[in-house]
Amino acid sequence: MRVIILILSCLVITKTNAQNAIGSIGTWREHYNNATIQQVIKGDQYYLASKNQIISYNENSGQIAYIGKSNGLHEIGIQTIAWDSQEEQLIIAYTNSAIDIVKGDQVYLINDIKTTSLFNNKQIKNIRTNKGLAFVETGFGIVIIDLVLREIKETWQNKDLAQAEILYKLTSIPFTKNIESITDSLKGIAIAPNLSKWINISGPRKPMNGYASVNENILLAPFSKNEKGFATYTDQGWTNYFTYQNNSIPQIDYSYVHPTENLFWLANDHNVYSYNGNQLQIIQNYPTGDIKNIAFSKNGRGWILNNPTGLTLYQKSNSKNYALPTGLNLNSRIQLLANQQEQLWMTGPSIQGLYIFQSDNYYNTNSWIQKTTGSNTGNLPSNRVTSMIEDKDGAIWVGTDNGIGIFNCGDISKEACNAYLPIIKSNGFNAYLFQKETVRCMAVDAANQKWIGTNNGVWLVSQDGLSIIEHFTKDNSPLPSDTLNQIIIEPNNGEVFFQTNEEWVSYRSTAAKAALNQQSIFIFPNPVPPDFNGPISFRNLVENAQLKITDISGKLVFQTRALGGQAIWNGRKYDGSQVATGIYLVFVRDDTGNEKGVGKIMITKGY
């Protein structure tokens, strides 16, 4: 076995701030890769169009801001931008032919070109502006937009453009000038005329397509798909890792959090590395093999699934191999999960259901078993298994292309174990949970609620799956796509990161990690400013704590239960009326009364 240590203090890295600072409960953030800037124009400041968002840059103050779906834009996929000097507003045309007009902090949508069925070729090619009008060049002709009323004024088809030229002298109206720029994955962007001055654009420098993971402090996302290196995210922003001492970091496809040591395991086809923030060390090498996935037991044992070796148990430099059952084909991507009983759950290739390997580390018997749709052989909703998670009660949720089955298994060498298929009421009818949906990914939050990612957006469901709490799609949220690839939850803030097939975004949810002992109560915001509209969060609470809020005289104003270690308050009394300006007391206790905490919150104006 080769051991190679790469000292990351010699790495070439880029460190950037977050594109948007973390906000209150219910707010979103983009984590877009801005490696390619397709257009730069000058208006009241510089505007840079990346693939999916706008970056504004004020050359006098050096201030950089990001405009995306989380703060007003209606679409992703930017086609072209233009500046309206008369009304001092930015015009954004998208690849789907929608148009946004941005004036100050207001965004106005013009959707007529996108939604019309009169023309086949609706692609927007370019935009000219003159005297309060925008002349939008499309595949079918010219659309004229009144930039004061922000509505379509006229449409001229290609066959009538000669007449439009006579009326508006279109060819004499210049396009918004595109400014020369240079982008660099390490340095950022330089804008003419000063092409030696680099502007540091935040965010990952490459698309993050690998399997990501998060511990208490760091989210690590490999670039993967023929891109070398990885990016990490902390409260201070994104850091990109590419090379060390003129040597490239290899392509990384998977990252995993070690449950008992402060490090990650990273993997590609042939190598498994450990990474502690300073060193990247090869711990397993398969020169002729193909690593399919990795999973950790709660006690820190690492399991490596490799074709053709099989399962390798690795702990403290010692390893042991276990052969695969006959007929298990590892030619496709396999998901792997190690549960509390050290059973290895593995998605079967294609339509083989799933396989469970029981090692003798917990039960006395090594055993393999296959689970399928048969009522006595697994009761899966489908043999095409697409995702798996273990919840806080030890139940295994198995996602398929036809919904979810839930397993609670003991010793599989002795006991039968079949899935329970939850039934929910939908539109007045009973149906199996996510029946006819492909469950692409899942995650469990601090309150044991489940986030479910599909091809039709993402759901948050209750602990038992019988109640739908949230359903986000690209149409009702800043999700850039309805196709989810992975869901990761940052434990301390409860921020949920969504990897879609387009980009990454995150959502500040209501559940967060519970404290073991009740100490300080983290209240956000505090004091509550007059213009604050979001819910107020109380973090660092013990599990399922009861929270009470009283006025200074001790009169109860509000009480609730924590979700995991976080409770929320909308700043109002039980009857929905505003609370008065002043100081309010916060009391926290667990059900036993052994863990207690007290805090204060100031409301600066009637909420």
pLDDT score recorded for residue 244: 64
CA torsion, points 206, 207, 213, 219, in degrees to nearest 10?
A: 50
Residue (of 380, 368, 304) closest to 388 by Cα position: 380
For 419-474, how does the pLDDT look when each residue is reduced to its tens digit (9 = 90+)?
999 998 777 778 899 999 999 999 999 999 999 999 999 999 999 999 999 999 99
- The values of phi and psi at residue 234, to 5°, are -130, -175
For 509-527, how does the pLDDT look when each residue is reduced to its tens digit (9 = 90+)?
999 999 989 989 999 999 9
Q: Facing residues of 192 across strands?
A: none
Please give the single-letter amino acid code of residue 322. Y
What architecture is the 35-199 domain classified under in CATH? 7 Propeller (2.130)
In whole angstroms, what is the distance from residue 542 CA to residue 567 CA? 10
For 540-557, how does the pLDDT look when each residue is reduced to its tens digit (9 = 90+)?
999 999 999 999 999 999
pLDDT score recorded for residue 15: 52
pLDDT (average), residues 37-60:
95
pLDDT score recorded for residue 23: 82
Q: What is the DSSP letter of 44?
A: S
In whole angstroms, what is the distance from residue 575 CA to residue 557 CA? 10
In whole angstroms, what is the distance from residue 312 CA to residue 550 CA? 57
Q: pLDDT band for position 606 (50/70/90)?
A: low
**Is the pLDDT higher at 84 or at 413?**
84
pLDDT score recorded for residue 245: 62
pLDDT score recorded for residue 243: 76
494 three-class SS = coil
In whole angstroms, what is the distance from residue 146 CA to residue 110 CA? 11
- Would you list the domain boundaries of the chain? 1-32+204-285, 35-199, 290-439, 458-513, 522-603
In whole angstroms, what is the distance from residue 384 CA to residue 352 CA? 7
Q: Given this chain, do its domains 290-439 and 522-603 carry the same CATH topology?
A: no
Fold type of domain 522-603: Immunoglobulin-like (2.60.40)
**What are the structure tokens assigned to 29, written together?**
């953030």
Contact (CB, 8 A) for 317 and 300? no
328 three-class SS = coil
In whole angstroms, what is the distance from residue 400 CA to residue 6 CA? 40
Q: pLDDT band for position 6 (50/70/90)?
A: very low
Judged against a pLDDT cut of 90, whether residue 79 lies above it is answered with: yes
Global confidence as pTM: 0.90
Q: pLDDT band for position 4 (50/70/90)?
A: very low
pLDDT (average), residues 63-75:
94
Q: Provide the percentage of residues in the chain whose pLDDT is more than 90.
A: 72
**What are the structure tokens assigned to 345, written together?**
């759950």
Dihedral (CA of 63, 69, 72, 77) sign: positive
In whole angstroms, what is the distance from residue 439 CA to residue 434 CA? 8
Mean of the per-residue pLDDT values of the chain: 91
Q: What is the largest CA-CA distance in the chain?
A: 89
Judged against a pLDDT cut of 70, whether residue 19 lies above it is answered with: no
pLDDT score recorded for residue 3: 39
Residue (of 89, 120, 94) closest to 107 by Cα position: 89
Judged against a pLDDT cut of 70, whether residue 592 lies above it is answered with: yes
For 348-402, how does the pLDDT look when each residue is reduced to its tens digit (9 = 90+)?
887 899 999 998 888 888 899 999 999 999 999 999 999 999 999 999 999 999 9
Question: Order of strands across the sheet with 78-84?
Answer: 78-84, 89-94, 99-103, 106-110
CA distances, 515 to each of 121, 262, 565 (Å): 57, 19, 6
In whole angstroms, what is the distance from residue 367 CA to residue 202 CA? 49
pLDDT score recorded for residue 574: 84
**Is the pLDDT higher at 359 or at 317?**
359
Exposed e or buried b for every residue in 11-33, given b needs 16+ CB within 10 A? bbbbebebbbeebebebbbbbbb
Pick the CATH number of 290-439 from 3.40.50.720, 3.40.350.10, 2.130.10.10, 1.10.340.70: 2.130.10.10
Q: Which residues contact 593 (CB under 8 A, 6 or more apart)?
A: none
Contact (CB, 8 A) for 421 and 427? no
pLDDT score recorded for residue 2: 37
